[in-house]
Amino acid sequence: MLLTLRPYFLQRRQQLLWGLGLILFATILQQLKPLLSSNPYNYPFSSPNNSDITGQLEEELAFHKNRIRQTPTDGLSQSALANTYLNLARATGDANWYLLAEQSAEQSLQKLPFSNQGAQLVQAKVAEARHDFDRAVFLADQVLITQPASEQAQSILITAHLGKGNLTAAKAIAEQLVQQVPTLGTLTLRALVHVAQGEDALAIQNFEAALKVEEPQEAGSSAWTRTLMGRFYASRGDGQRARQLYQEALEILPRYPLALVQMAELEMRQGHYRWVHLTFEVSINT
């Protein structure tokens, strides 16, 4: 009788052990789930729709154009129009908006030659986008004569000096600017200076600090920072982390040109040519 029951008890014992093992595994998985699903680069807002952003900018265009029709000699309205063109250029990657921004800024300065730092900043940013760093530095310095604490002018100087290879000048301005206003943009710029100097640990520290102080209305800057951070990791051979950051940037701005280009470059390096083809199709159809 005992011999016939022994296999039954052994089978029950194995089933019990398996059941306990599954319960233990499920408990551990439940405890680890928040850690496995957490994102190290959280941003405190839901991803905006790229078409919503461009739609808002187009509404701004219509508003400023209407103001200019009502008061054709208003240089400030013309400057605001130029800035909206510039924002459209950055949101879409379309170079035609840069040309319109530059033309509108010139018209603004013709109407208001003095105390028109807004139009000068637009001109400086267009020069920066075209990698005309000497002109960008000249125009930014002109703004700083009357507005010594201008964050935008100092930011332009940092990127222009980096573009020219003047790391000492770029670092000095970046340190001063972060002390003045430690924001997403300024911390990212200081991170870029550290990248240029080969100071990887400090670069990562500043990138992460930048993401910790981002604000909900900074969708463009948030995508920009993540893309630059991803490019840094890609250049250091960490393709997985780079891809994660590019994907986060594209969740914020689904057709963000800089992130698409960097993602395509990463996928091409890894031989994922199908993804690259699809990326360029998206860029062309945008």
Q: Is residue 247 included in any domain, yes or no?
A: no
Write the CB contacts of 6 (distance below 8 Å, at least 6 apart in sequence).
Answer: none
Residue 66 is part of which domain span? Answer: 51-130
Domain annotation covers residue 62 = yes
**In a domain? residue 75:** yes
Structural domains of the chain, count:
1
In sequence order, the 6+-apart residues with CB closer than 8 A to the CB of 75 are 108, 109, 110, 111, 112, 116, 119
Q: Is residue 118 part of a domain?
A: yes
Structural tokens at position 219: 């969708």
- Does 189 fall in a domain? no
Mean pLDDT of successive 10-residue stretches along the chain, which has 286 residues: 48 52 42 41 48 75 90 93 89 84 95 93 95 96 94 96 96 96 95 97 97 85 94 95 94 86 87 58 48
DSSP H helices in the chain: 2-37, 50-70, 75-92, 95-111, 117-129, 133-146, 151-164, 167-180, 184-196, 200-212, 219-235, 239-252, 257-269, 273-285
Question: Could you give the CA distance from residue 76 to residue 82 in angstroms, rounded to a whole number?
Answer: 10
Task: Give the per-residue pLDDT at 170.
Answer: 97
What CATH number corresponds to the domain at position 82? 1.25.40
Answer whether 123's CB lies under 8 Å from 101's CB.
no
- 81 in a domain, yes or no? yes
- 89 inside domain: yes
C-beta of residue 70 within 8 angstroms of C-beta of residue 91: no
**DSSP annotation of 179:** H
Given this model, what pLDDT does residue 43 score?
47
Dihedrals phi, psi of 75, to nearest 5 degrees: -70, -30
pLDDT on residue 3: 46
Residue 111, domain member (yes or no): yes
Q: Report the Cα 131 to chain-centroid distance in Å.
A: 19
